[in-house]
Amino acid sequence: MSPALLTLFGVGIAYLAALFIVAYAAEREWIPAHWVRHPLTYTLSLGVYATTWTFYGSVGLAANQGFMFLTIYVGVTASFLLAPVLLQPLLRLVRDYQLSSLADLFAFRYVSPWTGWLVTAFMLIGILPYIALQIQAVVTSAQVLTREAPPGVLAAGFCITVTLFAVLFGARHLTPREKHEGLVMAIAFESVIKLVALLACAGFALFGVFGGFGGLSDYLLAHPQAVERMQAPLRESGSWTTLCLLAFAAGFLLPRQFHMIFSENIDPAGLRTASWAFPAFLWLLNLAIPILLWAGQELHLDVPTEYYALGLAQRESSGLLTLLTFVGGISAASAMIIVESLALAAMCLNHLILPLWVNSGAAPSQDLYRRLLWGRRALIALVIAIGYLAYISMQRSTGLVQLGLVSFVAVTQFLPAVVGMLVWPRANRVGFLAGLCAGMSIWFLILAWPLLIGTPSPLQNLPLHERDPWLFATFWSLGLNLLLFVLGSLLARPNAKEQAADQACRMDAVTILSEAPQAGGVGELRLRIEQALGGDVAQAELRRALTELKLDAGERRPRQLHFLTERLRRNLSGLIGPQLASEVLAGRQNEQSMRRHLVEEELEHSQDRLRGLAAELNRLRRFHRQVLQDLPIGVCSLGDHGEVLIWNERMAQIAGLSADQVLGSRVRELPPPWREIFSRLLDTESAHLYKQPVHLRGGLRWLNLHKEAIAGDGESAQLVLLVEDLTEQQQLEAELTHSARLASIGTLASGVAHEIGNPLTGISCIAQNLLDEDDAGERRQGLDDILEQSRRISDIVQSLLSFARPSAPARDLEPLELHSLVKEAARLVRLSRSGRNIAFDNRVPEALIIDGDRARLTQVFVNLLGNAADASPPNGRVEIEASRGAASVTISVRDWGSGIPEELLGRIFEPFVTTKLPGQGTGLGLPLVYRIVADHGGSISVDSRVGEGSTFVLRLPLAPDAALGILT
Amino acid sequence: MSSSQPPGRDDAGIALLLVVGLLLPPGLWLWVDSGRAWWLLYLAWGLCIFGVAALRWRRRA
């Protein structure tokens, strides 16, 4: 090797070493993280698009075809300016579903065992010539500089060095899900080197050769054909649009572009910046090309046109520009090879190697992560090695641009499928596979055949062959591809998996959960992963997914298991590709009802992507959902299999269980006492259960429960359960009853004073007489009279105390003798002024027994007898009768008083309705009577005529023993 | 029924019109017709990029 060659070799190695240092510094955070993650760094990393084709080949293309060389960058500009509708949806898919390559993306959407395999194979075939030409460019650049044929060790050394870099910084982490910040920083660095080198060369050409802008203008004025040769091809050739289309597709479909744009994207905001900044970078880069061309032509450089940059740089006396330009060429080549090999290795691993291994039935590996990592590394080396072999075997006369365009036509075959996945629900695997196979076949026959075989294409006589060759090749390959894609998609139907994937892909649809197979529990999921990938992977992946979703290993709720399965699928997709991930997790298919109701979850997640009618419907859905949430009554809806689908906020308050704790659980899985309460409600024939006592949170609550079936779309009916908490209402009623009772006592106060006063006066008189009485018999009689009066006072006080005692919150039902109850009430009413002179005729049989609350029923009769006394004339009569029915007792309270006007009769049991003068009655007595009677399971009615009196008729259930007595 | 497009789609539509109008036939002939300055095509290309950048900055603001 000559000294000059040795120097170039050394410079190349030194540059690649610098690249290692940059990548390492970024990984170790010696370079600040905000620089590494800056949108401009991301933008510059996309400069991997500009290979030696740009650095060297564009000048050659400009010499032959004028401004046609700009098509390769204008086309990319178009695809990036369309980022919001083209690139950002793809980025969302890649991030959401952890798709690590183009093959993953197609395998996700066009679900077929063949998809990933074919995409990988076609990419390998289409891109390998492109890799070969990079190696060729590096070797040729050394040859141009040293004027001697470089030995094969130069190419081999270059390939080994870039392989080392790609392995160390592109396959660094155990899983491909991790981002490689060192790689991104290194590629960005290389883009800066390329830009600086080209602009430095152009600057030298402008100022060193032409003497500045004025000199360039003078040269162009003197040589108008120089500009005409640049412009004429655009006017005369029809290739501009074709080449722009090819570049449009290549801008994001080339594996290296896909890898840097999507797989290594750290922040989606970076793409928004790159959508204009990357075209700006390309614009700057290409400013240099015409200047380099004209300077080279002016100097009549003795180097191939493609290498005018090197030839010009050699004119710079210090030699630094030469080295910089050479390094620029190495940058362009190495960046392309590194990233392309990473991308192709990922595809080969996920879609060629792993499917064979998993489906071979081989025992799962104990250390799968490490094996995958080393597998990727081996494949990177293999891809570069194959590229090297292709370089050796290739026709050396093939130009850089020609090889590059061959690859561009190959990747453009994927364009119909990408557009279809974003906008056409009907696109399916049949159309995709048919179109792709046809397109690639035509591509091979027209473009690859002459390169590999060395003979003209078998299709060279097809129409349009006399036109531009790229138009010819693109028209036939892409045209047939598109035709079969459309036909195949129309003739076949997307399967269920494709439909789910389609809804995730399309721009105007929300992201919904895919058809995640149902799992019985976390253990079942672990088993599925373990069977395919080994115990270590199963444990690690489950731990990761459970942590991300904040679930635990005992999770059994169907809804949460669905989310867990989906999360595992996505995470495994990032590890082994979507196709294998789905196969590993395959199980029973999910029920439609669960998937349908889980759509709401995804609608909440995706609502900012809804547009038009979908957005309006979603707003309506959220409004109705909010109404349900805010209802003051507990709402719980059950799905087809009794699983809880809705659990509103009021229900959560009543039950003390949040929605997250119960959603998805079946009724039998709910914590007590709800399991029993709802089971009882579901089992009963009646749609209502009233006043159910429930012990909750240490206290007794009273609940009304209701159920209703909801039929929908012909499917099995679902149920909605409503829960009313009556506890506060019950407490209020108890307080009202107590207050009414105290109020009654208040009205009795003057009567009580009178009734107690009489016996006290009697006692006082008798005691007075006893002082002077000597006769023992008279004394005895006097003492007996005192005792009698004392008992009379005691009875009155005892009645008052019993009546005033508040009812216990629980319904203390006891057997009560109806006759005694009425007698007690009559005694109390007689204490009042209006009741004192009324004759209460108690005709209730003494054998009648009812179950009831003594105090509350006494209140009932006190109110009824009190009202009857108030309505009766002085010395009037109130008659109380009772008779026994089969299971109930009918009691009537009749007076011959003023009666109730007809217009009030229908409302007499409503609150605040009274026939009494203001201040004499509150109108709450009869409503209270009504409520108490209803609580005892009875009923009350009234018959009244003005001037003739009123009859209140009560029906109360007999005590069970009393009823039994009837039957026996 | 609201059917307004989101800003992203507006931008994309405008960007496409810019590129098609300035850089694809027949707009291309404006810049490369005989006698035109060589840098006019670069100017048109630069205007597309600058125009879309301005749109994206405005939306972000």
What pLDDT, on the 0 to 100 scale, is given for residue A965?
47
SS3 labels along A398-417: CCHHHHHHHHHHHHHCCHHH
**SS3 category, A110:** coil
Tokens of A685: 């024939």
Mean per-residue pLDDT over chain A, rounded: 85
B48/A231 Cβ within 8 A: no
Query: Percentage helix, strand, coil, to 5, in chain A?
Result: 65, 10, 25
Helix spans in A400-468 (H): 400-412, 415-423, 429-443, 449-453
Which residue in B2, B23, B33 is closest to A74 by CB distance?
A: B23
DSSP A56-81: IIHHHHHHHHGGGGGHHHHHHHHHHH
B38/A84 Cβ within 8 A: no
Rounded distance between C-alpha atoms, residue A556 and residue A56, angstroms:
62
Rounded distance between C-alpha atoms, residue A140 and residue A134, angstroms:
10
From the CA of B47, how many Å to the nearest CA of chain A?
10
Give the mean model confidence (pLDDT) for residues A344-363. Answer: 82
Rounded distance between C-alpha atoms, residue A548 and residue A563, angstroms:
11
Q: What is the pLDDT of residues A392-440, one digit of tens each?
A: 877 555 566 777 888 899 999 999 999 999 989 899 999 999 999 999 9
Q: What is the pLDDT of residues A765-775, one digit of tens each?
A: 888 888 888 88
Interchain CB contact of A13 with B (< 8 Å): no
Interchain CB contact of A280 with B (< 8 Å): yes
A84/B12 Cβ within 8 A: yes
- Among A188, A654, A769, A246, smallest CA distance to A475 is for A246
Question: If you count DSSP H runs as helices and E runs as strands, how many of each does chain A have, helices first?
Answer: 42, 12
- Among A109, A791, A195, A172, smallest CA distance to A514 is for A109
CB atoms under 10 Å from CB of A456, counted, come to 10
What pLDDT, on the 0 to 100 scale, is given for residue A44?
96
Q: Which stretch of DSSP H or E encloses residue A738? A: helix A727-772
Q: What is the pLDDT of residues A917-931, one digit of tens each?
A: 665 666 778 888 888
**In this model, does residue A283 exceed pLDDT 50?**
yes
**In this model, does residue A516 exceed pLDDT 70?**
no
Q: Are A433 and A368 in contact (CB under 8 A)?
A: no
What pLDDT, on the 0 to 100 scale, is given for residue A616?
84
Q: pLDDT class for A286, splitting at 50, 70, 90?
A: very high
Name the one residue in this structure whose structure tokens are 């991790």.
A178
**Which of B2, B52, B57, B60 has the most A C-beta neighbours within 10 Å, making it the best mutation to test the interface with A?**
B52
Tokens of A285: 């880069």
**In this model, does residue A742 exceed pLDDT 80?**
no
Cα A812 to chain centroid, rounded: 52
Burial of A18 (0-12, 13-18, 19+ CB in 10 A): middle
Query: Residue B35's closest chain A neighbor by CA?
Result: A228
- Which residues have CB under 8 Å from A729's CB, separation 6+? A702
Q: pLDDT class for A712, splitting at 50, 70, 90?
A: low
Give the mean model confidence (pLDDT) for residues A6-23. Answer: 88
Residue spans of the domains in chain B: they are 10-39
Q: Percentage of residues in chain A with pLDDT exceeding 70?
A: 88
Which of the residue ranges A10-24, A349-363, A615-629, A678-692 would you say has the lowest mean pLDDT?
A349-363
Which residue in B1, B8, B56 is closest to A616 by CB distance?
A: B1
DSSP A553-601: TT---HHHHHHHHHHHHHHHHHHH-HHHHHHHT--BPPPHHHHHHHHHH
Q: pLDDT class for A750, splitting at 50, 70, 90?
A: low
What pLDDT, on the 0 to 100 scale, is given for residue A364?
64
Burial of A608 (0-12, 13-18, 19+ CB in 10 A): exposed
What pLDDT, on the 0 to 100 scale, is given for residue A559?
73
CB atoms under 10 Å from CB of A734, counted, come to 15
A86/B12 Cβ within 8 A: yes
**Beta bridge partner(s), residue A715:** A712
**In this model, does residue A815 exceed pLDDT 70?**
yes
A81/B18 Cβ within 8 A: yes
Which of the residue ranges A83-87, A105-109, A521-525, A676-680 would you say has the lowest mean pLDDT?
A521-525
Residue A614 corresponds to which amino acid? Answer: A
Query: Residue A216's closest chain B neighbor by CA?
Result: B38
Highest mean pLDDT among A201-210, A351-360, A622-631, A881-890: A201-210
Q: pLDDT class for A595, splitting at 50, 70, 90?
A: low
What pLDDT, on the 0 to 100 scale, is given for residue A702?
87
A246-257 exposure pattern, b = at least 16 Cβ within 10 A, e = fewer: bbbbbbbbbbbb
Give the mean model confidence (pLDDT) for residues A476-484. Answer: 96
What pLDDT, on the 0 to 100 scale, is given for residue A142?
87
Q: How many A-B residue pairs are in contact by the CB < 8 A criterion?
A: 93
What pLDDT, on the 0 to 100 scale, is given for residue A714?
52
Chain A hits for B12, CB-CB cut-off 8 Å, are 81-86
Rounded distance between C-alpha atoms, residue A107 and residue A114, angstroms:
8
Q: pLDDT class for A506, splitting at 50, 70, 90?
A: confident
Interchain CB contact of A297 with B (< 8 Å): no
Quote the pTM value: 0.70
Residue that wins the pLDDT comparison between A504 and B1: A504
Rounded distance between C-alpha atoms, residue A202 and residue A235, angstroms:
26
Which residue in A84, A244, A277 is closest to B11 by CB distance?
A: A84
**In this model, does residue A596 exceed pLDDT 70?**
no
Q: What are phi and psi of A892, to 5 degrees?
A: -125, 140
Q: pLDDT class for A660, splitting at 50, 70, 90?
A: confident
**Which of A92, A276, A510 has the most B C-beta neighbours within 10 Å, making it the best mutation to test the interface with B?**
A276
What pLDDT, on the 0 to 100 scale, is given for residue A611?
66
Q: Percentage of residues in chain A with pLDDT exceeding 90?
A: 39
Residue A689 corresponds to which amino acid? Answer: L
Rounded distance between C-alpha atoms, residue A234 and residue A389, angstroms:
37
What pLDDT, on the 0 to 100 scale, is given for residue A811?
55
Residue that wins the pLDDT comparison between A794 and A817: A817
Cα torsion A360, A361, A362, A365: sign: positive
Give the mean model confidence (pLDDT) for residues A713-725. Answer: 77
**In this model, does residue A932 exceed pLDDT 80?**
yes
**Which of A81, A218, A244, A620 has the most B C-beta neighbours within 10 Å, making it the best mutation to test the interface with B?**
A81
Cα A572 to chain centroid, rounded: 18
**Beta bridge partner(s), residue A709:** A719
What pLDDT, on the 0 to 100 scale, is given for residue B3?
43
What pLDDT, on the 0 to 100 scale, is given for residue A966?
42
Rounded distance between C-alpha atoms, residue A864 and residue A841, angstroms:
14
- ∠ CA A402-A197-A192 to the nearest 5 degrees? 95
From the CA of B5, how many Å to the nearest CA of chain A?
7
**SS3 category, A703:** strand
Helix spans in A773-886 (H): 776-804, 818-830, 854-871
CB atoms under 10 Å from CB of A144, counted, come to 22
Rounded distance between C-alpha atoms, residue A479 and residue A471, angstroms:
11
Rounded distance between C-alpha atoms, residue A634 and residue A727, angstroms:
14
B1/A67 Cβ within 8 A: no
Kindly report whether the peptide bond that precedes residue A673 is cis, defined as omega within 30 degrees of 0: yes
**In this model, does residue A807 exceed pLDDT 90?**
no
Rounded distance between C-alpha atoms, residue A883 and residue A890, angstroms:
5
Which residue in A70, A612, A615 is closest to B41 by CB distance?
A: A70
- ∠ CA A608-A557-A666 to the nearest 5 degrees? 110
A283/B12 Cβ within 8 A: no
Q: pLDDT class for A735, splitting at 50, 70, 90?
A: confident
CB atoms under 10 Å from CB of A71, counted, come to 25
**Beta bridge partner(s), residue A878:** A840, A895
What pLDDT, on the 0 to 100 scale, is given for residue A812?
61
- Which residues have CB under 8 Å from B10's CB, separation 6+? none
Which residue in B23, B34, B56 is closest to A276 by CB distance?
A: B56
Chain B hits for A235, CB-CB cut-off 8 Å, are 29, 32-34
Task: For chain A, list the domains and their CATH numbers.
Answer: 3-357+372-394 (1.20.1730.10), 413-510 (no CATH), 655-725 (no CATH), 730-967 (3.30.565.10)
Which DSSP symbol is given to A316? S
Interchain CB contact of A510 with B (< 8 Å): no
Rounded distance between C-alpha atoms, residue A188 and residue A571, angstroms:
28
B49/A82 Cβ within 8 A: no
Give the mean model confidence (pLDDT) for residues A551-571. Answer: 82
Name the one residue in this structure whose structure tokens are 């450089």.
A301
A234/B28 Cβ within 8 A: yes
Q: pLDDT class for A243, splitting at 50, 70, 90?
A: very high
What pLDDT, on the 0 to 100 scale, is given for residue A510?
45
Which of the residue ranges A194-198, A589-593, A815-819 would you say has the lowest mean pLDDT?
A589-593
